[in-house]
Amino acid sequence: MEAKAQKIVKSSRMRNVASKLVSNKAALLGLAIIVIIILLCALAPLMTPYNPTKPDFSAQVQPPGGAHPFGTDKLGRDILARVLYGGRVSILIGLSGAVGGMLLGVIIGSLCGYFRGWLDAVFVKVAELVSIFPQILLVLVLVTILQQSMYNLIMIFIATGWVATFRMVRGRFFSLREESFVEACRVFGLGDLSIAFRHILPNCLGPVIVQLTLNTAGFILQEAALSFIGLGVPSGTPTWGNIMNAAKEIVSINQYPWVWLAPGLAIALFVLGVNFFGDGLRDALDPKQI
């Protein structure tokens, strides 16, 4: 009897989620892509002998092959080194912006959706304000006040990225809080915070995770766009977006495709991995999917 009960406890929900993830090929592939790219970027100094920012005028725009497997750009900088070092910044911005925004949106959305009242009224107005306010203006203001930096960019992404998650979570809470299982929780004496975060919130996580993967991809691309107009990460620091900016000129589009193809593929691959993994995670968290 004792052993049986132990067994029941042991096969917890997290283990179940993990086993479902492992059996999902696409999710595993996604996870593998994410892990490999992150590892490569983290271990960049071991992967390439080149300095990503140091120009080498003896080796300008060389096609891939030989000493430079991905070729070099117009200043003779090794593309592989730039993509690897740039990935550190891009991934950090994309992931931390998306995760931060998700956490903020989930917490505020849960509290507003559960308690409603003045708290909800205030944050709905704030969310409206944020979503109608042009992001570019916000970036301009912040850059002017604080100066250009990676951390400011992350802050801006968090400050603007929580709104979609907030709305989704709040909306789900509005319908879920009327379900009788919530009333049952109250009848069994559970407290408000426990009901909101432990019982209602897990029912909203599917769309939240999809939003997280979309935001990760979106922020990496937005960083590229902001860097393009000189408002993102300072141009001295390589990021996937910054490297692609080399493709501003018609010449490089026509004649040196490797200059923008490598960072472009890196973005596409990473975003793909995040999407695969996010999809798998969403299915694994849904008990109705076997």
Partner 1 sequence: MSENKDILLSIRNLKTHFHVRKRVIRAVDGVSLDVRAGKTLGLVGESGCGKSITAHTILRLLPKTARIKDGEIIFHSRKRQPVDLLKLQPSGKEMRGIRGNDISMIFQDPMSSLNPVYRIGDQIVESILEHENTTRAEAMERALEMLKRLSIPSAEKRIREYPHQFSGGMKQRVMIAMGLICNPELLIADEPTTALDVTIQAQILELMQELQRQLGFTIILITHNMGIVADVADDVAVMYMGKIMEFGSKEDVFLRPSHPYTRALLKSVPVLGNSGRDLLEPIRGSTPDPSDLPEGCSFAPRCDFAKPECGQAIPYVDVGNGHLVRCVLAEGREVRDGQ
Spell out, one character per residue from 13 to 32, where the chain touches partner 1: x when CB under 8 A holds, - when not. x-------------------
> Interaction with partner 1 in 148-207: which residues (CB under 8 A)?
179-181, 183-192, 199, 202-203
> Interaction with partner 1 in 225-264: which residues (CB under 8 A)?
none
What is the 8-class DSSP label of residue 63? P
Stretch that binds partner 1, among 2-10, 84-92, 119-127, 159-167 (CB under 8 A): 2-10
Stretch that binds partner 1, among 8-16, 20-28, 89-97, 259-267 (CB under 8 A): 8-16
Counting every residue, how long is the chain? 290
Select from 165, 262, 261, 264 the least CA-distant residue to 220.
Answer: 264
Q: Can you read off the two tokens belonging to residue 89? A: 């910044």
Beta pairing partners, 68: 65
**Nearest to partner 1 of 111, 274 (CB atom):** 111
Distance, in Å, from the CA atom of 112 to the CA atom of 226, rounded to the nearest integer, reads 32
What is the 8-class DSSP label of residue 232? S
Least distance in angstroms from the C-beta of 156 to partner 1: 33
| From candidates 4, 46, 49, 118, binder to partner 1 by CB under 8 A | 4
Select from 177, 36, 158 the least CA-distant residue to 113.
Answer: 177
118 is a contact residue toward partner 1 (CB under 8 A): no
Contacts with partner 1 by CB under 8 A: the residue count is 29
**Nearest to partner 1 of 192, 249 (CB atom):** 192
Stretch that binds partner 1, among 71-79, 157-165, 228-236, 281-289 (CB under 8 A): 281-289
DSSP-derived secondary structure for 96-120: HHHHHHHHHHHHHHHHHHHH-HHHH
Least distance in angstroms from the C-beta of 158 to partner 1: 27
Confirm if 100 and 109 have CB atoms less than 8 A apart. no
User: Residue 205: which residues within 8 A CB-CB, separation 6 or more?
Assistant: 282, 285
- Which residues would be at the binding site for partner 1 (CB under 8 A)? 1-2, 4-6, 8-9, 11, 13, 179-181, 183-192, 199, 202-203, 285-288
